[in-house]
Amino acid sequence: MTRQRKRFLLNIAMLSGVAMFAVAAFWEWVFPHIFVFDTAAFSRQFPATRFTDCRGNVVHTEPGYDYCLRFPVKLEDLPQHLIDVTLAAEDRNFFEHDGVDLCAVARAAFQLITNGRIVSGASTVSMQLVNQTGERRERSLLYKLAQMGKARNLERRWSKKEILEEYFNRLPYGGKIYGIEAAANYYFGLPAGQLNTAESILLAGIPQRPNRLRPDRFPEAAIKRRDLILEMLVRQGSFTEADAERIRREPLRFRDFSLEAFPRAEDPQFFLWTRQNHPEIRGTCATTLDMAKQSVVNAVITRCVNEHRSVHDGAAIVVENRTRAVRAFLGTTDFKAAGDGQVNAALARRSPGSLLKPFIFGEAINGGLLVAETLVDDSPLSLGNYRPENFSGDFLGRVSARSALSQSLNTPAVRILNSIGTARCIETLGAFGIRFPENTNAEKIGLSLALGGAETTLWQLAGAYSSLASGSVPADLRCTECATEASNSAGAIWNAGTAAMVLEMLQTVPLPGAEHLEISWKTGTSNGLRDAWCIAVTPEWTVAVWFGNKDGSSAPELVGAEIAAPVAGAIMNALYRDQAPAVRDTSALLRTTLLCEKSGLAAGTHCEKTFSGTAVVGIPLRTCPACKSFDGANPYSRETQVLQPLGGVYRKGFNGKARFILKSLPAQAHWYLDGSYLGFLKSGTALEIPPGKHQIYVWGGNDFSSAKIEIEVK
Ligand SMILES: [Zn+2]
């Protein structure tokens, strides 16, 4: 060999060495950075969600991205044989290569050259994974190169375990079924963790041609494919022939494909609401729903709506007080109706009628202003243009707070609200979870708060009453068993005795239709008969019921006590089929004390007739102001009195009228003659009254109490 020839060959060798080094360097350091794989593509494809009831049964499925059914599963929850056979079939050197299996590429290239067609794809798990982003695939060399680049890029950022886990979660198994968990569920009705080897191999074969190998439609093709893979595994040495024979005899436990694998609730409002509160939950969501109670509620509410011609909708919520878990939730009776069918009435703001009264009375009790036996004034009341009337149209005069609340009298509730202030009540209601929209404030709502002037929802009301039933310890209602919903309860809003007294007052009359007497309940009827409500509570349960029309139209049947109360009673009967409600032990919360007969407040030194009544432990009750003398001995008396004139018969004067000098306690008050407002008059003002029978009515003072006398002028 000549010297030149030697040098020439050396140069060739050196050049090819440099070229090979350049190719290797390019492959190793540059190539993986040209095709960057965006893993965010995976997180955008959120999985489906299975909602289970409180017993763990799947009751509703919410599809994920692109309506796909994919349920995330962890690698450690998959059987080892599934991982082994999948890797043996798809990517034998998975743990050795860095995303591209060069031996497999060489083999594929060799087969392509010798056979003239593609025998094996040489696609690694990582290469297949980067293809599962939902983007369109191509059959070009550049596309294949990009796939390799992306796979190697991914391998540099993710561990083998992460890649394998994502792979099992992304593979297509026919139709909208993606990922091994959904496939195991759909084809075998099993979690992937319970698949046997035969089933694992069958599933491992599907992703190659998912819509041609799905065993529900092409069982023979699927099983044939399974046998091919098994033969290949034997050839590779993964299994012995005896193993293969044993695996062939393993049962393929196919599900009954005529049944729904992923049930959808007919009325998914509870799940939509749960989703709204928990946008983060994916995969499986354990809800608090009790299907037995749910079907009772559905049946009772639907029957009632069907029985009333002009009532078209109803909603109900059943809460387990101890855990605040929502055990039944009905947002509407006509979810499938066109137009407003899907409106969730349980979450819609409506006028609650009298349902907030117990919280107003409670606030007064907690402030020591009254107890159940305190006499409150139910006489006509006119505050500016505001003239609340009772539902019955009558006024009962002086009645106990118990009667006023249990009969839902309006003017006592308005008077009490006036004495404690709307702003303070709104704050308390807020603590109970009843929150009004930002643009409503105390000034805007005013005293109408007591009678349903501010709108709230069945959901908020159910929560507030559940808190009331739990000694006024507030906590949000729970739809799921998620840790994020774990106890968020603050301290009690009131003295526990206050809540006990309010609940006891609400037991005065038995709940219509209920078999048990130990149920506290309150109804609400909105102005113009548009909403009928009833909320019933026991130590264990809160049952909240609403009837009305979504378009807000009124109906004569929409009276809380008539339509909603018996339904709440029926639901309570179902809840207490096997046991009676627990009896509250209030011995440590309530105390016996001497009350004045005249006022129903703590008896003072001037009170003559007294009786033994009940007050709250730890709350000093206001002393009776009625029995104090009017001569200024008790400057703190706030009880309104008409001091002059006294009731009785008077003779008219020369001008045909009787002349009076008015005098009241407090010295300046609002005066009315026969219902017409005279003004905010100071004691000493003169008034002339024509012949006839007349009623004089005065209100004022810090507590907005009132007094009334009758006179006749002849
Ligand atoms: Zn007294």
653 CA distance to ligand 1 centroid (A)? 38
Chain segment 6-29, per-residue pLDDT in tens: 888 888 888 888 888 888 877 777
Alpha-carbon separation of residue 682 from 277, 358, 669, 685 (angstroms): 57, 35, 7, 6
605 CA distance to ligand 1 centroid (A)? 8
CATH of the structural domain 327-339+352-575, one choice from 3.40.710.10, 3.90.1150.10, 3.30.70.1170, 3.30.420.40: 3.40.710.10
675 CA distance to ligand 1 centroid (A)? 29
Average pLDDT, rounded, for the chain: 87
602 CA distance to ligand 1 centroid (A)? 8
- The yes or no reply on domain 641-713 and CATH 2.60.40.10 is yes
Nearest to 236 by CA among 91, 366, 358: 91
371 CA distance to ligand 1 centroid (A)? 14
- Of 205-214, 257-266, 389-398, 608-617, where does the model show the most confidence? 608-617
**d(Cα 289, Cα 324) in Å, to the nearest integer?**
12
Tokens at residue 148, please?
A: 């390799």
Using the predicted structure, report yes or no on whether residue 629 has a pLDDT greater than 60. Answer: no
pTM (2 d.p.): 0.77
- Cα(first)–Cα(last) distance of the chain, in Å? 154
Using the predicted structure, report yes or no on whether residue 136 has a pLDDT greater than 80. Answer: no
Return the half-sphere exposure (C-beta side, CA atoms, 13 A cut-off) of residue 698: 25
Chain segment 441-470, per-residue pLDDT in tens: 778 888 899 999 999 999 999 999 999 999
DSSP string, 284-339: EEEB---HHHHHHHHHHHHHHHHH-TT--EEEEEEEETTTTEEEEEE--S-TTSTT
Chain segment 156-214, per-residue pLDDT in tens: 888 889 989 999 998 899 999 999 999 999 999 999 999 999 999 999 989 888 889 99
610 CA distance to ligand 1 centroid (A)? 8
283 CA distance to ligand 1 centroid (A)? 66
DSSP string, 204-272: HHGGGSHHHH-TTT-HHHHHHHHHHHHHHHHHHTSS-HHHHHHHHHS------TTS-SS---SSTHHHH
Chain segment 67-84, per-residue pLDDT in tens: 889 998 999 999 999 998
The pLDDT value recorded for residue 341 is 74
617 CA distance to ligand 1 centroid (A)? 21
- The yes or no reply on domain 35-46+72-249 and CATH 3.90.550.10 is no
595 CA distance to ligand 1 centroid (A)? 8
50 CA distance to ligand 1 centroid (A)? 64
Q: Which of 247-251, 275-279, 385-389 has the lowest mean pLDDT?
A: 385-389
641 CA distance to ligand 1 centroid (A)? 14
Domain 35-46+72-249 shares a fold with domain 641-713: no
Domain ranges, ordered by start, for the chain: 35-46+72-249, 327-339+352-575, 587-624, 641-713
682 CA distance to ligand 1 centroid (A)? 26
Using the predicted structure, report yes or no on whether residue 2 has a pLDDT greater than 80. Answer: no
The pLDDT value recorded for residue 51 is 95
- 421: phi > 0 → left, psi -120 to 50 → alpha, else beta; which? left
Give the contacts of 346 (CB within 8 A, at least 6 positions apart).
Answer: 269, 315, 316, 317, 329, 330, 331, 332, 457, 458, 459, 546
Residue 152's H or E segment, with its range, is: helix 141-157
597 CA distance to ligand 1 centroid (A)? 6
User: For the chain, percent helix, then strand, then coil, each to nearest 5?
Assistant: 40, 20, 45
Report the 10 Å Cβ neighbour count for 208: 15
664 DSSP 8-state letter: E
The pLDDT value recorded for residue 630 is 45
The pLDDT value recorded for residue 311 is 93
121 CA distance to ligand 1 centroid (A)? 98
Chain segment 465-484, per-residue pLDDT in tens: 999 999 999 989 999 987 55
User: Is residue 426 very low, low, confident or very high in pLDDT (cuts 50, 70, 90)?
Assistant: very high
Higher pLDDT pick, 159 / 659: 159
Alpha-carbon separation of residue 636 from 312, 421, 542 (angstroms): 54, 19, 42
Using the predicted structure, report yes or no on whether residue 338 has a pLDDT greater than 90. Answer: no
428 CA distance to ligand 1 centroid (A)? 30
Q: What would the mean pLDDT of 343-357 be, rounded to a whole number?
A: 94
The pLDDT value recorded for residue 625 is 81
Chain segment 521-564, per-residue pLDDT in tens: 999 999 899 999 999 999 999 999 999 998 889 999 999 999 99
**Residue 581 · residue 516 · CB < 8 Å:** yes
**d(Cα 145, Cα 148) in Å, to the nearest integer?**
5
649 CA distance to ligand 1 centroid (A)? 28
Percent of the chain clearing pLDDT 70 (strictly above) = 95
User: Is residue 306 very low, low, confident or very high in pLDDT (cuts 50, 70, 90)?
Assistant: very high
627 CA distance to ligand 1 centroid (A)? 4
